[in-house]
């Protein structure tokens, strides 16, 4: 092999190593979503998505409420009010009594599939005539938002 052939050979080997590395990364990622029976979770009023069970805090965690509130103001307030009537999306007043916590978290983190498969979400879409956009909210952020919703309902009840 002359010098050019050698360099080409080395380059090709390097590329193969790099691309193999990438493949490996995909395979060894975090464990994927566990198997669920969507029909079942929909029937239970928990919606469809990764969240199957939520432990609620009693009393509420003030730090989570605070974080939830700022996420709400940043990403949700344009379409959801905390009391009163619907704007673009439904008001959040009373949402924690209308819906199971699992349903709410699945609606936030898996909205496209919820609108496709969950009858209660579809009913909302019929009423609101706007699709809630997927805003890539993490499960942790969604959990903070849920805490804030419980606080909001407690505040509303006190009024
Ligand atoms: C562009 C407007 C818009 C934004 C922004 C938005 N939503 Fe929505 N949301 C909607 C609409 C509209 C619906 C009703 C379902 C539909 O039509 O898609 C809805 C429904 C919901 C519901 C179910 C309400 C119920 O009464 O059961 C929850 C929970 C919810 N959104 C959470 C959020 C959260 C959390 C955020 C912020 C991260 C957010 N939404 C941001 C428009 C929006």
- For residue 138 and ligand 1, the question of a CB distance below 6 A is answered with no
Residue 27 has pLDDT above 70, yes or no: no
The position carrying tokens 């009537």 is 85
pLDDT value of residue 39? 81
Instruction: Ligand 1, residue 131: give the atom nearest the CA.
Output: 18
Look at residue 156 and tell me whether its pLDDT is greater than 80: yes
Q: Tell how far the Cα of 80 is from the centroid of ligand 1, in angstroms.
A: 7
CA of 34 to the centre of ligand 1 (A): 26
Confidence label for 40 from pLDDT (cuts 50, 70 and 90): confident
State the pLDDT at residue 2: 78
pLDDT in tens, 60-109: 999 999 999 999 999 999 999 999 999 999 999 999 999 999 999 999 99
Q: Could you identify the residue written with the tokens 């819906």?
A: 99
Which residue's alpha carbon is nearest to atom 11 within ligand 1? 89
């Amino acid at each position: 092999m002359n010098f050019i052939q050698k360099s080409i050979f080395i380059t090709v080997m390097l590329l193969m190593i790099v691309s193999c590395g990438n493949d490996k990364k995909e395979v060894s990622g975090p464990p994927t979503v566990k198997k669920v029976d969507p029909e079942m979770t929909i029937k239970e009023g928990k919606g469809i998505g990764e969240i199957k069970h939520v432990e609620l805090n009693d009393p509420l965690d003030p730090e989570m409420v605070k974080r939830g509130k700022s996420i709400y103001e940043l990403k949700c307030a344009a379409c959801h009010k905390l009391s009163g009537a619907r704007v673009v999306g439904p008001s959040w007043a009373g949402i924690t009594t209308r819906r199971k916590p699992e349903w709410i978290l699945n609606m936030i983190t898996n909205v496209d599939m919820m609108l496709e498969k969950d009858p209660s979400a579809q009913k909302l879409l019929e009423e609101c005539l706007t699709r809630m956009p997927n805003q890539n909210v993490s499960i942790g952020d969604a959990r903070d938002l849920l805490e804030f919703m419980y606080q909001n309902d407690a505040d509303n009840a006190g009024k």
